[in-house]
């Protein structure tokens, strides 16, 4: 498993999922807050994943050039950012257009009934 991650499981969970996951969540919300296209999350998440790979290498002796570790980190961070984007966008749509939309869940909105 450490070959796939490019480092230890603990450093992947701590750095990628917790620390950079929180940054990714905020990044997704910031993209939504400025009404930008969610496709912008892809390069931003790649930059966060590369930063995470470097910190894993510098602090814990992980493999800096692990392509599988970078891709796995990128996929996890992009997914977290997209969920953060969708949560913020749902809040925005309901707040911006209260006469049109109502909340249908934490990540969705829909046309107001009745």
**Distances from the Cα of 78 to the Cα of 8, 48, 68, 95, angstroms:** 21, 9, 15, 25
User: In this prediction, what percent of the chain has a pLDDT beyond 70?
Assistant: 100
* pLDDT higher than 80, residue 114: no
Confidence check: pLDDT of 52 > 90: yes
Q: For residue 44, give the nearest of 11, 9, 14, 78 by alpha carbon.
A: 78
pLDDT band at 12 (very low <50, low <70, confident <90, very high): very high
Q: How confident is the model at residue 3 (pLDDT cuts 50, 70, 90)?
A: confident
Angle of helix 67-96 relative to helix 41-60, nearest 10 degrees, comes to: 130
Contact residues for 92 (Cβ-Cβ < 8 A; gap 6+): 32, 33, 35
- Residues 15-30 have pLDDT tens digits of 999 999 999 999 999 9
Q: What was the pLDDT predicted at 2?
A: 82
What residues contact residue 42 under an 8 Å CB cut-off, 6+ apart? 78
Quick check: 88 pLDDT over 90?
yes
**Beta carbons of 79 and 46 less than 8 angstroms apart:** no
Query: Of 19, 37, 28, nearest to 85 (Cα)?
Result: 28
What's the confidence (pLDDT) of residue 61? Answer: 92
Q: What is the mean pLDDT of the chain?
A: 95
Distance CA 96, CA 18 (A): 31
pTM: 0.93
């Amino acid at each position: 498993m450490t070959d796939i991650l490019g480092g230890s499981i603990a450093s992947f969970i701590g750095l990628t999922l917790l620390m950079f996951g929180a940054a990714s969540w905020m990044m997704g919300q910031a993209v939504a807050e400025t009404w930008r296209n969610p496709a912008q999350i892809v390069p931003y998440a790649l930059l966060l994943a590369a930063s995470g790979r470097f910190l894993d290498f510098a602090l814990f002796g992980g493999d800096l050039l692990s392509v599988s570790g970078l891709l796995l980190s990128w996929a996890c961070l992009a997914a977290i950012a997209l969920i953060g984007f969708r949560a913020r966008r749902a809040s925005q749509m309901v707040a911006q257009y209260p006469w049109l939309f109502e909340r249908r869940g934490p990540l969705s909105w829909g046309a107001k009934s009745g």
